[in-house]
Amino acid sequence: MADDERSIEPELLAAAIEVQANAHVPYSQFHVGAAIRTRTGRIFTSCNVENAAYPQSVCAEAGAISAMVSGGERLIDAIVTVCEGDALATSCGGCRQKIREFADEHTMIYAAGPDGIRKAYTMAELLPDSFGPDNLGVGRSGPSSS
């Protein structure tokens, strides 16, 4: 499926853009916002939060996943991340694995910039041959696990 054949609801992109403004990035100045839509249609958002002790920083995707889990959801239908600048910015390796924990191969991941969606991926495209809960024989629990 070509990128232009994949659509995203404007509200998911708008939610990521809105939360991006709240990013705490005094060191990198790299504002990131993320919005997750679950299979039940709920939206959860977060932004990146840096810390002077760099390893303690939190990526926007990780924060949105934590909000989703705290809200009782367990399955990501789509996630969009918004970053500044001209370059295509996708989720870091750690966040790809965090997304995979709550995704299946059809979950959509959108990378966006100030101009809108720049690239769309399925989970299988972004993290091919991934390792996840199903490799350990574990199912998901929660309202969006079916």
Task: Single out the residue of 106, 104, 97, 98 nearest to residue 134, CA to CA.
Answer: 104
Name the pTM for this structure: 0.89
Task: Single out the residue of 93, 15, 103 nearest to residue 59, CA to CA.
Answer: 93
Q: Evaluate if residue 5 carries a pLDDT over 50.
A: no
pLDDT tens per residue across span 39-73: 999 999 999 999 999 999 999 999 999 999 999 99
Catalytic annotation, pick one of 61, 84, 101, 105: 61
Is residue 61 annotated as part of the catalytic site, yes or no? yes
Range 3-134 has CATH code 3.40.140.10: yes
